[in-house]
Amino acid sequence: MSANSTDYQKGWEFFSKNDRVEARKSFNEALNNPDTKSDALLSLSLLEWNENHLEAAFANFQRFYETSPNPYPYFYALSSLPILFEAKQIMSPAELAFYEKILLDPKLNGTQKASVYEHLGTHYAKMNNQQKANEYYNKMGALKNWQILGSFDNTSGSGYSKDWGAVSKSRTSDVFKNKVDANVSWYAPKYNNPNNWFYFDYYFYLNNSIMYAQTFVNSPVAQEVYLRAGTSGSLKIWVNDALAAAVPEERNCDLDIYANKVK
């Protein structure tokens, strides 16, 4: 093992002892070894984030991206940290250029590409350029034009496994009894969040409730596709009246966290 190879390991040994000065020095020395350069840059990025030096953290991650043969697993893992997206609704010119650049990389998968489109859209929305924001939001590939129905009783999760009739009755003329025994039907909301997340709480009281949303997609040919979803709560997805996904646990999930191949 070369001397430079141990510099990277020493960096984490110093960090575990809370000796940030020596850790930073070891990580910087590890940059001289091609075998540890990428890992050292990523470690420096994490170190700078830990000390709330967010510009330096991003700069080191950008250098890591340029030297790593496959940076995208790390890009995904860190996307919820302030190093990348979290709490950064308005980007710096360097960040903006970086995200627009990686959109051109064919190795960027669909989920991560949709996430970048969303955050670029949010940037331009915060800059009061809604036209530019909508250009990016429209590239996310999100399903739109939802019709919604609700809400049905789900006290203590008791409604999750019940058949409320929504799957077999999809016409706006169909009538259902909701949780307070009132007549309800499918209807199309006029407005929703422009970033393509659909918020049931714009229209329903969420606690102990089951709600449905449906939309219609036409495929000119039979094909296998990946249907991706994220949600806050439990979830069921039907495609052509067949159950494609069922997640009874209530979770607050990110974009595209549930991926299902359907025909």
Q: Which residues have a Cβ under 8 Å from the Cβ of 208 and sit 6 or more positions away? A: 153, 154, 155, 156
Q: Where are the domains of the chain?
A: 1-71, 88-141, 143-216, 217-263
For 205-230, how does the pLDDT look when each residue is reduced to its tens digit (9 = 90+)? Answer: 989 999 999 999 998 999 998 888 98
Question: What pairing do the DSSP bridges indicate for beta strands 176-177 and 183-184?
Answer: antiparallel
CATH of 1-71, one of 1.10.1240, 1.10.10, 1.25.40, 3.30.420: 1.25.40
For 70-94, how does the pLDDT look when each residue is reduced to its tens digit (9 = 90+)? Answer: 999 999 999 888 898 766 678 989 9
Question: What pairing do the DSSP bridges indicate for beta strands 258-262 and 225-229?
Answer: antiparallel
- pTM here is 0.84
